[in-house]
Chain A
Amino acid sequence: MTVLTDIPEKWLPVVLPIKKKKKAGFGGGKSKKKRTEEERRVKANDREHNEKFQYANNCIVTSKYNILTFLPVNLFEQFQEVANTYFLFLLILQLIPQISSLSWFTTIVPLALVLSITAVKDATDDYFRHKSDNQVNNRQSQVLIRGSLQNEKWMNVKVGDIIKLENNQFVAADLLLLSSTEPHGLCYIETAELDGETNMKVRQSVSVTAELGDPNNLASFDGEVVCEPPNNKLDRFCGTLYWREKKYPLTNQNMLLRGCVLRNTEACYGLVIFAGPDTKLMQNSGRTKFKRTSIDRLMNTLVLWIFGFLVCMGVILAVGNAVWEREVGSLFQSYLPWDPPVDNFMFSAFLSFWSYIIILNTVVPISLYVSVEVIRLGHSYFINWDRQMFCSRCNTAAESRTTTLNEELGQVEYIFSDKTGTLTQNIMTFNKCSINGQTYGEVTDPLGKQPKRLDFTPFNPLANPDFCFYDEKLLESVKVGDLHTHEFFRLLSLCHTVMSEEKSEGELVYKAQSPDEGALVTAARNFGFVFRSRTPGTITTTEMGRTVTYSLLAILDFNNIRKRMSVIVRNPEGRICLYCKGADTVLLERLHPCNQELMSITSDHLNEYGADGLRTLALAYRELSEDEWEAWSESHRCADKATDCREDRLAAAYDKIEQDMKLLGATAIEDKLQEGVPETIALLSLANIKIWVLTGDKQETAVNIGYSCKMLTDDMTEVFIIGGHTVQSVRQELRSARERMMELSRGKTEGMEAWAEACFMGNGMKDGQEGDCTTGRGSKQLHCSSLPPSASGDMDSISGEFALIISGHSLAHALEADMEAEFVSTACACKAVICCRVTPLQKAQVVELIKKHKKAVTLAIGDGANDVSMIKSAHIGVGISGQEGIQAVLASDYSFAQFRFLQRLLLVHGRWSYLRMCRFLCYFFYKNFAFTMVHFWFGFFCGFSAQTVYDQFFITLYNIVYTSLPVLAMGVFDQDVPDHRSLEYPKLYEPGQLNLLFNKKEFFICITQGIYTSVVLFFVPYAVLSDATQSNGVPLADYQTFAVTTATALVIVVSVQIALDTGFWTVFNHMFVWGSVGSYFTIMFALHSQTLFRIFPNQFRFIGSAQNTLLQPVVWLTIALATAVCVVPVLAFRFLKLDLKPQLSDTVRHTQLVRQKRRKPGGRSIGGAWRGTGSVSEGRLGARGGSRRSGYAFSHQEGFGELITSGKNMRLSSLALANFASKHSSSWIETLRRKKTNHTPPSTSGECSPAPSNVSGTCPALSNSSSVLGGSQETPIEEETDAAVVLSSSSHPAASEPAEPRAPAQVAPVDSSTSAAARTDSPGGWTRSLETVQEALFGRRGCASASSTQVPPCDATETPPH
């Protein structure tokens, strides 16, 4: 039903921008009375005092109406829509008898229809709002009243109350944290509902209140808070607490905001500061701004033009009326005197103007808007229903949350994508390692059958069953007791900042700050080196079944400059050892010289891993003597205590000890991409969509992902990195990048040839090139036309492949007003743009920038709360659903579970929607002009008296019955090429981007055709009938015969026209087209029947016309003649265009038809061939030529080592403390650059690369990437099942496993045995505690492993049956 929720404000966005409706809810009434609040004073435990200020209470009203106000308010709102008002105005005009050229019902029937549909929808929406309001307002919370805790409904909570919150409860209002059960007044909250981030945040109370503790003390607390008035800034709070004559500053760190959930804290107490509508949550949930598509805007412009045209026609006809009345009509006065108020021809002309406005208003029928809505609704449902956009792993179907943007999906030019969770799964898997010069994990043979997953359980009862590794050699080596291997895993089990939680024996849960660490520690765990627990001074592990406790001497924490971390531990034997892991670039420099040989082997391995897009770490260790340790420990202590330059000193101290280490090996972690990401990106860029990655991640990570998802390739001419910290340096970097591009492209004509070829191949047809490249696409036709790069500095002419990487602080400068143009021109010349370290706001700014400068349709896709701003500001926002955070989904217009669905959303659904909408609009304007303009011509024959040509019932029904359904069916069902073809030929997407199918030119063609039709429809019957008679001598030139003839001809002509326009005749199209023609005749005969005439003789005067007219062969000949004259030119034009100047879609369609014919006898040989090529490239990431890149596997912030050693956080289960400032250096990139200049050319493994080797791909490359997709379409279930590898350290309770249809029996017992655990959960899904979930998971895992089947362990939490 979500589809419906968005039609709302949008029946008609015509013409004027919709007035923002004042929300009736939100306690709006109250706030109006109140003066704007300047500061807020809240006294704890003093309701009387606080009542003086009339602060809003905690009751929330989001509904708009109640039973009494519904009708007036809703009607009032609906009539604020311009179109509704316009039709109301017409209705009123029609009630004036002197003007009324049509009966009132011709307008009121459609209007009432539209109004009531909208009203019903609004009512339903509001009903649900009422329900949810009630539910929220009636939640219980414990309020401290007169010294005792009492249960109160949320809506009765007042500002100044003290509330007790328990673990996993929602925060009821914006609270000042007073005290908690945790030490230091700490408490942990999850802010998913607020900002979508699922990690936990710490809040701490002011120390004086933290000591208050229990309710008795709190009851006597009478502090007063003075703070800022309610606002919507989530991360800022500023206030002062006055208590016992002292002032305490308050910050956001002291606040618990409504919408958060308390986690890992038994209970806490808070003072209500903001309640109800004043809370930051509610202040933020303003009406999202209404997005409109470019077609909407165009349509509104056109409607305005049509209104202008209407007025022109009215004026012409009114002038005609004036002349006629003066010259002719005055002589006719005795037969027909003027109506009483009319006393001269001018006044008559004035009235005639309005009369004509009424009868000609059908050029813009109200049904246009309704139909557009219906079509979009249909498209939205198709998106919702698409099985190929259903993710079985997370049981999430694609959802179109707005119904108003569908056709814009067919016009996207820029995609802005988040990285984590969107391109990647944010899941790290331990993939390969190199130990002592031996590489492990290389078994993935794409041609061989799926290698067997190692089963660790017999060897190690503590192993994590989710862990996947395929290379048996490594396990053997552990079992054999290879020293290096043991040391390797020992390092992994010791050197980290992971926290473990062991609920019961063997049930280990690792809480890692970054998934990389989690993956490494889990790997060590499975290979027999299990990290069990830690205290500030010790680390306990189980090594090969033997429990060992190391004393932790120091953690040399990670930071961005050091790019490594070490621990110094003393083992039970007393040996002191330093274990270090870090980026290879850093670590390899610090090895003992004797490692030279191993180092070169290992760096070869590292190169390979890096080339595979894996994130690597080098591992090394060093034994320390007691003396060394003592000495260093002293210097370290010194540095630690230093007050100035502490960090530098610490770094120096660390640096001193991390020397002369022995290399152990390297790890390679795969930052798992979402499925199909590289293919999708390749396909989308073939469709001429530019993809920008905007990420908050580090540059290294971002670049690495850029490579692994094929946005960046080694074949790129150059990758520019903008990292300047000052305006000048950024400007300079941008300029030099641009100059370099010009320079390179000038010298690179062969690049152009490659382009032309790519273009040729992309079109797929021989004649495609001609048709595609020469049709005047203008400058937007990127590089396709063979214009040589001009030296004029026109950035559009730059050829070659460039990529731009810009970091957040440089972006801040680049986004400044005077530089943004420069930035845009540089960035848009690049094929790939990656912005790293950007803030949410900057994401939105970048989107706005492109919107502003490029006038292109933008799409933003993301999954987290930090993407919300970008999702909201892009034309189309897409949220990745199925993850825990729902903020992005809530803000989005479309949501689905996997990035790869984007290709289907755009290339299939978007393209179809655009095509359908365009065809619909063309036809719609055509049919209404054909219908209405007949009146205009008739005006010249009827003295401009505003006599209609048709029966009034015909006018009423024409748009809503006779012609609405066929065009709706076309608008909903039409397809020019089938879905897999539009994925195979991404070039098919281009007409949408260039807006070729419906623009002003097309519009004029449509209405010209409509006017031509109206001329034919009027003058052919006129010429024929004016002199014709029936066989019995009765003339045929009477009005009613003429009306029936014209109307019938019109219905037939427009039906034939829609038949020509319909490219895809489903059963519905047949039904509707034939049905409409049938209904026309049926209804006409009914309306012209004697029964109706006997009841209402004055309304149904056409009695007998239908039968008398349609029995005349002359009439039928007339109709046939009119139809032929209307249709034959169109037919001729269409087929000539198709044969002489075919569009790509025509050619594709043609080949499709030919293929179908051929396939009938011969099977699907072609499709098979396509798939065949695809299967070769099934390799996970594909091999890439070995450029030296290093993405080291640290994605976390520094500072945790300190937390661990201080012991402060030992009760913390999740360590994600937000907002640690981190310095950033670009030195790594410098290294990269240096290395890139002399990198070795790619090896000859090109043929197994699935990615196109140049920009748009040669033909085989194209077929490769698309056929992978093609294959997946044919067998979606199997593929998903295969791909459903359970990922280690998954902490997503929502992640679920597809039930294998083949093995339901095996799955079932697992489910039933654990269902008890699942059932105990509260029905409110995600509110249950993390622990419970983990328990449930582990219970399940245990069962799964006990049953010792090959079924992938099922960590699905079934939705409990309701």
Chain B
Amino acid sequence: MGKTKNKSGPLARRPDNSAFKQQRLPAWSPMLTANTVLPFFYLLAVICMLLGVWLLLLVQSTQEIKLDYTDLGNCNECFDLRRNVSNAAQTCSCRVEFSIDKSLKGDVFFYYGLKNFHQNLRRYMDSRDDGQTLGRIKNLKNPSTYCAPFDKDNDGVPIAPCGAIANSMFNDSFTLNYHLSSSRSVPVPLLRTGLTWYTDKNIKFRNPRTDNLTLAEVFEGTRPPLYWQKPVYSLDPHDPNNNGFINEDLIVWMREAAFPNFKKLYGILNRADPIFEKGLPKGNYSIDISYTLPGQEGSGADHADLVRRPEPFPADCLPGNQQPDPAGGRRPHRGLVEVRKGWEEHEGMKHGGVKTED
């Protein structure tokens, strides 16, 4: 064809005798006969069985304690409080008590969970600016339009971190106490770092370059998301290096969950303390769930909208949504946000498939 081979003669146009052109390429043509397929099936079945047994054992060695604190303790008071928008500014805290019958050995992880909270909505997931959280000054002052309507407040001041995801960040705080006796209790120390992917913490989320300024100065000219009580540079009062965009709670929250019911890592038991060296001993525990609700400004309009709904919806929709909210417990079908707390102990993998075909 295109090639000009200087052939001539009566066979000039004879096609090449190559295996490719004559479709005689050496080839392997397997056939799925019983002889080949059945042994494969048996092998597969054996593998699956072994795997399944192993996984079953693994799962049984995993302990998990789940507490749905929507309904527990005095948390329903907070729910009632939240029902009324006018109380939005009030703080509320509650305590949930529970006991562990069998000590949790090894690493203990502390999660919070939400039910029916759709982090996977398309527009919700789009509503973030990775350039901003990467610490780009330009995006800091001028967030992406994808963040709208959470890119700027009514006065045109840019929001950092912008977007719906950041705005709805879960920022309840939990204090776990171990009751050594009825009167004496010690707080259980939790590590609040190391909760994220390495790449998130070190690459994806960066603070803007400080250039000898404090973080607060860098973030000057921006305001925190509407529903936040604290600005992004003072999210963690205890660890100055865990502030700004690299705050791990923020990073954990910003890694959207794929499904509406999800849990996220809150902390890891710090086993430096001799009491907790081997994990959580059995005994009585309590969790203090606290709310620090600063005054809301500039979000009045949103409130107004919510309040007008036929059935006043729980306060969880109000500015700081992160309250442990009774809604889920009392009206699960309506419950938009429910906070659940779980204990999990991990040793290796937790799940896998148990499959035995044929």
| Interface residue from B15, B109, B130 paired with A386 (Cβ < 8 Å) | B15
Interface pair A1153/B255, CB less than 8 Å apart: no
Interface pair A1358/B120, CB less than 8 Å apart: no
B96 CB-CB contact with A under 8 Å: no
Question: Considering the complex, which residues of chain B in the window 24-50 have a beta carbon less than 8 Å from any beta carbon of chain A?
Answer: 25-34, 36-38, 40-41, 44, 48
| Interface residue from A385, A393, A947, A1035 paired with B120 (Cβ < 8 Å) | A947
Interface pair B33/A1098, CB less than 8 Å apart: no
A1128 CB-CB contact with B under 8 Å: yes
Question: Considering the complex, which residues of chain B in the window 241-282 have a beta carbon less than 8 Å from any beta carbon of chain A?
Answer: 255-265, 268
Interface pair B34/A1035, CB less than 8 Å apart: no
* A976 vs B123: C-alpha distance when bound (angstroms): 49
Contact residues of B with A, CB < 8 Å? Answer: 1-2, 8-17, 21-23, 25-34, 36-38, 40-41, 44, 48, 51, 107, 109, 111, 116, 118-125, 127, 129-131, 134, 136, 144, 146, 149, 164, 167-168, 194-200, 203-204, 227, 255-265, 268, 302, 305-306, 309, 313, 317-318, 321, 334, 336, 344, 346, 348-353, 355, 357-358
Q: Which residues of B contact A941 (CB under 8 A)?
A: 120, 258-260
Which candidate, A368-376, A694-702, A1038-1046, A1199-1207, is the interface stretch facing chain B?
Answer: A1038-1046
A1149 CB-CB contact with B under 8 Å: yes
| Interface residue from B22, B25, B29, B265 paired with A1153 (Cβ < 8 Å) | B29
Interface pair B334/A331, CB less than 8 Å apart: yes
Q: Which residues of A contact B120 (CB under 8 A)?
A: 941-943, 945, 947, 1039
* A1069 vs B346: C-alpha distance when bound (angstroms): 44
Q: How far is the CB of A767 from chain B (nearest CB, A)?
A: 14
Interface pair B130/A1101, CB less than 8 Å apart: yes
* A393 vs B302: C-alpha distance when bound (angstroms): 88
Given contacts A1033-B346, A1108-B199, contact A1128 B41 (CB under 8 A): yes
Interface pair A328/B336, CB less than 8 Å apart: yes
Q: Which residues of A contact B350 (CB under 8 A)?
A: 1027-1029, 1114
Q: How far is the CB of B103 from chain A (nearest CB, A)?
A: 18
**6 A–B contacts from the bound complex (CB under 8 Å):** A331-B336, A392-B10, A973-B25, A1035-B265, A1093-B204, A1138-B32
* A1240 vs B288: C-alpha distance when bound (angstroms): 114
A1179 CB-CB contact with B under 8 Å: no
Given contacts A1114-B352, A1124-B355, contact A337 B149 (CB under 8 A): yes
Interface pair A1097/B255, CB less than 8 Å apart: no
* A1063 vs B357: C-alpha distance when bound (angstroms): 25
Q: How far is the CB of A36 from chain B (nearest CB, A)?
A: 44
Q: Which residues of B contact A1297 (CB under 8 A)?
A: 10
Interface pair B25/A1067, CB less than 8 Å apart: yes
Interface pair B30/A942, CB less than 8 Å apart: no
Q: Which residues of B contact A947 (CB under 8 A)?
A: 120-122, 125
Interface pair B34/A1135, CB less than 8 Å apart: yes
Q: How far is the CB of A70 from chain B (nearest CB, A)?
A: 23
A1090 CB-CB contact with B under 8 Å: yes
Q: How far is the CB of A1356 from chain B (nearest CB, A)?
A: 6
Interface pair A1103/B13, CB less than 8 Å apart: no
5 nearest A-B residue pairs (beta carbon): A1104-B199, A1121-B353, A385-B21, A1042-B258, A1033-B109
| 5 new A-B contacts at CB < 8 Å, known A382-B23, A1114-B349 | A1029-B344, A1034-B195, A1042-B258, A1097-B131, A1135-B36
| Interface residue from B123, B256, B313 paired with A1039 (Cβ < 8 Å) | B256
Q: Which residues of A contact B30 (CB under 8 A)?
A: 1063, 1065
Interface pair A336/B2, CB less than 8 Å apart: no
A1150 CB-CB contact with B under 8 Å: yes
Q: How far is the CB of B200 from chain A (nearest CB, A)?
A: 7
Interface pair A1037/B352, CB less than 8 Å apart: no
Given contacts A334-B317, A1097-B130, A1138-B33, contact A1033 B203 (CB under 8 A): no
Which candidate, A248-256, A1017-1025, A1208-1216, is the interface stretch facing chain B?
Answer: A1017-1025
* A390 vs B41: C-alpha distance when bound (angstroms): 48
Interface pair B33/A1104, CB less than 8 Å apart: no
Q: How far is the CB of A40 from chain B (nearest CB, A)?
A: 45
* A335 vs B13: C-alpha distance when bound (angstroms): 73
Interface pair A1114/B15, CB less than 8 Å apart: no
A1 CB-CB contact with B under 8 Å: yes
Q: How far is the CB of A597 from chain B (nearest CB, A)?
A: 51
Interface pair A1131/B265, CB less than 8 Å apart: no
Q: Which residues of A contact B116 (CB under 8 A)?
A: 328
* A1297 vs B11: C-alpha distance when bound (angstroms): 9
Interface string of A495-507 (1 = CB under 8 A from B): 0000000000000
Interface pair A1149/B262, CB less than 8 Å apart: no
Given contacts A384-B15, A945-B121, contact A1103 B302 (CB under 8 A): no
Q: Which residues of A contact B334 (CB under 8 A)?
A: 331
A1361 CB-CB contact with B under 8 Å: yes
Q: Which residues of A contact B36 (CB under 8 A)?
A: 1135
Given contacts A1065-B28, A1149-B29, contact A946 B122 (CB under 8 A): yes
Interface pair A942/B118, CB less than 8 Å apart: yes
Q: How far is the CB of B358 from chain A (nearest CB, A)?
A: 7
Given contacts A392-B10, A1114-B349, contact A1104 B31 (CB under 8 A): no
Question: Considering the complex, which residues of chain A in the window 1037-1092 have a beta carbon less than 8 Å from any beta carbon of chain B?
Answer: 1037-1043, 1060, 1063-1069, 1090
* A1146 vs B31: C-alpha distance when bound (angstroms): 9
Q: How far is the CB of A1206 from chain B (nearest CB, A)?
A: 44
Q: How far is the CB of A1318 from chain B (nearest CB, A)?
A: 12
Q: Which residues of B contact A388 (CB under 8 A)?
A: 22
| Interface residue from A387, A1094, A1296 paired with B22 (Cβ < 8 Å) | A387
Q: How far is the CB of A62 from chain B (nearest CB, A)?
A: 23
Q: How far is the CB of B316 from chain A (nearest CB, A)?
A: 9
Q: Which residues of A contact B167 (CB under 8 A)?
A: 335
A1139 CB-CB contact with B under 8 Å: yes
A513 CB-CB contact with B under 8 Å: no
* A1098 vs B15: C-alpha distance when bound (angstroms): 53
Q: How far is the CB of B91 from chain A (nearest CB, A)?
A: 20
* A1138 vs B259: C-alpha distance when bound (angstroms): 42
Given contacts A385-B22, A1114-B350, contact A945 B134 (CB under 8 A): no
* A1028 vs B265: C-alpha distance when bound (angstroms): 12
* A336 vs B150: C-alpha distance when bound (angstroms): 9
Q: How far is the CB of A925 from chain B (nearest CB, A)?
A: 21
Interface pair A1359/B12, CB less than 8 Å apart: yes
* A1041 vs B200: C-alpha distance when bound (angstroms): 13
Quick one: closest B residue to A1100, CB to CB? B130
Interface pair A1299/B353, CB less than 8 Å apart: no
Q: How far is the CB of B139 from chain A (nearest CB, A)?
A: 8
Interface pair B199/A1117, CB less than 8 Å apart: no
Interface pair A392/B14, CB less than 8 Å apart: yes
A1125 CB-CB contact with B under 8 Å: yes
Interface pair B2/A1, CB less than 8 Å apart: yes
A625 CB-CB contact with B under 8 Å: no
Q: Which residues of B contact A1114 (CB under 8 A)?
A: 349-352
A69 CB-CB contact with B under 8 Å: no
Given contacts A335-B167, A1038-B256, contact A1298 B29 (CB under 8 A): no
Q: Which residues of A contact B358 (CB under 8 A)?
A: 1128, 1132
Interface pair A1063/B10, CB less than 8 Å apart: no
Interface pair A1026/B259, CB less than 8 Å apart: yes
Given contacts A1031-B348, A1132-B358, contact A1150 B31 (CB under 8 A): yes
Interface string of A387-418 (1 = CB under 8 A from B): 11010110111000000000000000000000
| Interface residue from A979, A1039, A1120, A1121 paired with B258 (Cβ < 8 Å) | A1039
| Interface residue from A355, A382, A1139 paired with B122 (Cβ < 8 Å) | A355
Quick one: closest B residue to A909, CB to CB? B23
Q: How far is the CB of B44 from chain A (nearest CB, A)?
A: 7
Q: Which residues of B contact A53 (CB under 8 A)?
A: none
Interface pair B13/A397, CB less than 8 Å apart: yes
A264 CB-CB contact with B under 8 Å: no
Interface string of A873-897 (1 = CB under 8 A from B): 0000000000000000000000000
Interface pair A1125/B29, CB less than 8 Å apart: no
* A333 vs B37: C-alpha distance when bound (angstroms): 55
Q: Which residues of B contact A384 (CB under 8 A)?
A: 1, 15
Quick one: closest A residue to B40, CB to CB? A1131
